[in-house]
Amino acid sequence: MARYETVIGLEFHAELKTKSKLFCPCPTEFGGEPNTHVCPVCLGLPGVLPVLNKHAVELAVKAGLALNCDIQRVSKFDRKNYFYPDLPKAYQVTQFALPICRDGYVNISGKQIRINRIHLEEDAGKLIHSGESILDSGFSMPDYNRAAVPLIEIVTEPDIRSAQEARELAERLKSLLEYAGVSDVRMEQGSLRCDVNISLRPEGQTEFGIRAEIKNLNSFRAIERAIEYEEKRQAAILDEGGRVIQETRTWDDGKGITLSMRSKENAHDYRYFPEPDLVPTVIDDIWMNEIRQSLPEMPEARKHRLMTECGLSEYDTNRIVETPMLAFFFDEVIEAGADAKLTANWILGDISRLLTGNEDKLPIKASDLAVLIEQVKSGAINHSSGKLVLEEMFMHGGCPLEIIKTRGFAQISDASALQEAVLKVVEANPEPVADYKAGKKKAMGFLLGQIMKATGGQANPQMVREMLEKALDA
Amino acid sequence: MAISEKDIAYIAELSELELTSEEAVQYAGSLNSIIDYMAQLQELDTSGVEPTTHVLQLQNVFREDVVKPGLSREEALRNAPNRTKTSFKVPKIL
Ligand SMILES: [Zn+2]
């Protein structure tokens, strides 16, 4: 059986974080009632003129800088023509001939993936179908709230060779766009979308095989699984001496398979031509520098700061910077006055654990975590109570001081109260005491446990240990 | 480059237009005369001339990223030939 090499190129669409649409002042806000964020421009009514959103241009340039692209001095828009009811004008305004960014790259482990281009374009509307699925519906109801929301399309070169590399690139790209502050990059909400172009070729062959394009990938896991499935599907065809059909396929996440989307033969002849209603965008050095300076701290600079200024280990730094949400949160917590190393420990330990399965949103406030860290550090509560307070904050919200008070977590550091508890336990457990005195030091642990139990876990463990040692050695 | 009736049929299909064969002949003729006319430009030496991106000598016409209310849904749907309470209504397309 022939061995094949997989060749993959990815295309990403990211919604830009603007308040208004690309060519009109309608809101981009998610989740309005159908057809309530529309105007004559984004509905494509006759006689209207689009005007380009300046902020969208700046965000596209920032994305280009984050992905090491050459920002183009002159870019312009073209019309991409096709008939589909999610497109009210019957064309999409995009950048075909002169995209805003070219020739970038993204580093993944041990490898550089080249970025061919980034261009600005408008999103399409959404088709709601009257039946259960598109197959049994009698008609469709377009909702144009998303129509003309600004997007960037990022196109990689076919430099990717495995499902794992594709996933790593997608994760890296999401993180870079998030750090650059250009997009919300939520795959499940559709603000970051990924299409995969994949072909196989016999190992050692230089020319590319025939590729299939896979759409509808809503998670990193789906990207990985769809590629693994396509590798097997295409290999089986080639093994039998068959030919892969060049086509668009859709990923069915439930069934774990890709399916052919029957499309018209001519669907890819878009007859691009220059958009006469929009003039070219020219980015001079002054504007370029302004945008460059407004780019937020990117991962490499952030790593450097966390290691040199905050004194974190390289391992902890990498784990924090890997997830922008955690990195931003880390900054907020130390800004609220918490110790950097303790903050890193809490974030990478209990907080990461509590976030498992719900990695998109932190339900606690940075200032509250800073207070909790201080409470544990000062000894007002012990570490295990601290963990319980954090869990409570995650589940029900609330301020840590309030939780400590209502749950009675405050640590007992009152010497006379502790002394009493220690003596009671020593009296009640003559055998372990005798064992300890006979040299069985393990008995100490049992006695400590009894004291913690008697005080509801609130005794200051340091003080108890000292008192117990004194009592036993007496 | 002459435009054939076959090209016209293809363009018509992409544009969702139905043409009779007489119309196809007629459009092939008119499109060819336009192309012949434009072909005169090919005789000029344009090396060293920057490609035109727009016929107006304008660049960087922008709006600020500010939200303004658009149409109410009733207004938006008013001229639709077919609608539901909340949406336009179109034949389903696979
Ligand atoms: Zn609008």
Q: B22 vs chain A: nearest CA distance in angstroms?
A: 24
Contacts of B88 in chain A (CB under 8 A): 35, 85, 141-142, 144
Answer for the pair B65, A20: CB distance below 8 angstroms, yes or no.
yes
Q: Which residue of A has its CA nearest to B56?
A: A279
Q: For the purposes of burial, counting CB atoms within 10 Å of the CB of A410, is it exposed (0-12), middle (13-18) or buried (19 or more)? A: middle
Residue B13 has pLDDT above 80, yes or no: yes
Instruction: Confirm or reject contact between A256 and chain B (CB < 8 A).
Output: no
Residue matched to tokens 């018509």: B12
Q: How far is CA A280 from CA A152, A178, A410, in A?
A: 17, 28, 66
Q: For position A323, what pLDDT does the model report?
A: 87
Q: Which of residues 266-325 of A touch B (CB under 8 A)?
A: 266, 269, 271, 274, 276, 278-282
pLDDT exceeds 80 at position B49:
yes
A274–B54 CB contact, under 8 Å: yes
The Cα of B83 is separated from the nearest Cα of chain A by a number of Å equal to 8
Torsion angles phi and psi, residue A407, rounded to 5: -85, 0
Distances (CA, A) of B50 to A74, A355, B46, B47, B54: 12, 55, 8, 8, 11
- Tokens for A140, please give them: 């469709």
Distance, in angstroms, between A129 CA and closest chain B CA?
8
Rounded Cα gap, residues A302 and A401, in angstroms: 32
| Strand partners of residue A197 | A9, A213
- Taking the CA atoms of A66, A181, A215 and A24 in sequence, report the sign of the dihedral they define: negative
Inter-chain CB pairs, A–B, below 8 Å: 126
**3-state SS assignment for residue A456:** coil
Contact yes or no for A76 and B14 at CB 8 A: no
Select from A18, A140, A266 the Cβ nearest to the Cβ of B90: A140
CB B63 to CB A51 under 8 A? Answer: yes
What's residue A134's pLDDT? 55
Give the Cα-Cα-Cα angle A133, A135, A139 (nearest 5 degrees).
80
**Distance from Cα A21 to the centre of ligand 1, integer Å:** 7
Please return the burial class of A369, using the count of CB atoms within 10 Å of its CB with bins 0-12, 13-18 and 19+.
buried
Say what the pLDDT of residue A285 is: 95
What percent of chain B clears pLDDT 70, i.e. is strictly above it? Answer: 98
Phi, psi of A198 (to 5 degrees): -135, 135
With beta carbons less than 8 A apart as the criterion, state whether A327 and A343 touch: no
Q: Do B93 and A266 touch (CB under 8 A)?
A: no
The encoded tokens of residue A387 equal: 């963990």
Contacts of A448 (CB under 8 A, 6+ apart): A461, A464, A465, A468
**In chain B, what residues touch A43 (CB-CB under 8 Å)?**
71, 76
CB contact under 8 A, A139 and B68: no
What are the residues whose beta carbons fall under 8 Å from the beta carbon of A20, sequence distance 6 or more? A26, A27, A28, A53, B63, B65, B66, B67, B68
Closest CA to B53 of A319, A77, A117, A101: A77
SS3 assignment, position B11 = helix
Nearest one of A387, A429, A388, A427 to A407, comparing CA atoms: A388
**Least CB–CB distance from A33: residue in B58, B71, B86:** B86
The separation between the first and the last C-alpha atoms of chain A, rounded to the nearest angstrom, is: 81
pLDDT score at A133: 60
Interface of A with B in 427-446 (CB under 8 A): none
pLDDT of residue B64: 97
- Give A54 to chain B, closest Cα distance, Å: 5
Do B62 and A138 count as a contact with CB atoms less than 8 A apart?
no
User: Which residue of B88, B89, B94 to mutate against A (max A Cβ within 10 Å)?
Assistant: B88
Pairing of strands B90-91, A111-122: unpaired
**Chain A residues with CB-CB distance to B90 below 8 A:** 85, 139-142
Q: Among all chains, which residue has been given the structure tokens 């209504």? A: B89
Task: Inspect the interface and report whether the beta carbons of A38 and B70 lie closer than 8 Å.
Answer: yes
- Residue A335 buriedness (CB in 10 A; 0-12 / 13-18 / 19+): exposed
CA A33 to ligand 1 center in whole angstroms: 15
Rounded CA gap, A78 and A96, in Å?
6
Would you call A359 an interface residue with chain B, using a CB distance cutoff of 8 Å? Answer: no
Specify the DSSP element, H or E, that contains A55: helix A54-66
What are the backbone dihedrals phi and psi of residue A79, each rounded to the nearest 5 degrees, phi first?
A: -100, 130
Residue A91 confidence (pLDDT): 94
One-letter amino acid of A407: R
pLDDT of residue A229: 96
Residues 6+ apart with CB under 8 A from A412: A418, A455, A458, A459, A460
Amino acid letter, B68: K
What is the predicted pLDDT for the residue at A208? Answer: 93
- Strand order of the β-sheet with A126-129 is A126-129, A139-143, B90-91
Over residues B5-20, the mean pLDDT reads: 88
Closest C-alpha to A96, from A273, A280, A267, A268: A273
Query: A10: Cβ–Cβ under 8 A, 6 or more apart, which residues?
Result: A155, A156, A160, A166, A169, A170, A194, A195, A196, A197
**Closest-CA residue in chain A for B69?**
A26
A319–chain B nearest CA distance, Å: 35
Q: Please give the ipTM for the structure prediction.
A: 0.88
Residues of A in Cβ contact (< 8 Å) with B77: 35
pTM for the full predicted model:
0.82
Per-residue pLDDT of chain A (474 residues; tens, 9 = 90+): 568 999 999 999 999 999 999 999 999 998 889 999 999 999 999 999 999 999 999 999 999 999 999 999 999 999 999 888 899 999 999 999 999 999 999 999 889 999 999 999 999 999 887 766 655 567 889 999 999 999 999 999 999 999 999 999 999 999 999 999 999 998 888 899 999 999 999 998 999 999 999 998 989 999 999 999 999 999 999 999 889 988 899 999 999 999 988 665 556 789 999 999 999 999 999 999 999 999 999 999 999 999 999 999 999 999 999 888 899 999 999 999 999 999 999 999 999 998 887 777 888 999 999 999 998 888 788 888 889 899 999 888 888 888 888 877 777 777 777 888 888 888 889 888 888 888 888 888 888 888 888 877 777 778 888 888 888 877
pLDDT score of A377? 87
Domains of chain A: 4-282 (no CATH), 297-407 (no CATH), 415-473 (1.10.10.410)
Instruction: Among B64, B71, B91, select the one facing A40 at the smallest CB separation.
Output: B71
At what angle are helices A299-308 and A163-180 packed, to 10 degrees? 80
* H or E element that contains A452: helix A443-454
Residues 35-54 of A with CB under 8 A from B: 35-40, 42-43, 51-54
Identify the pLDDT of residue A265: 53
Using the structure block, give the residue that is written with the tokens 């434009």: B38
Are the beta carbons of B59 and A85 separated by less than 8 Å?
no
DSSP letter assigned to residue A240: T
What's the pLDDT score for residue A233?
Answer: 95
Closest CA to A167 of A113, A210, A116: A113
Burial of B16 per CB tally in 10 Å (0-12, 13-18, 19+): exposed
Chain B contact present for A138, CB below 8 A:
yes
Closest CA to A279 of A42, A23, A61, A11: A23
On chain B, the residues whose CB falls within 8 A of the CB of A128 are 87
Domain B5-42 has CATH 1.10.20: yes
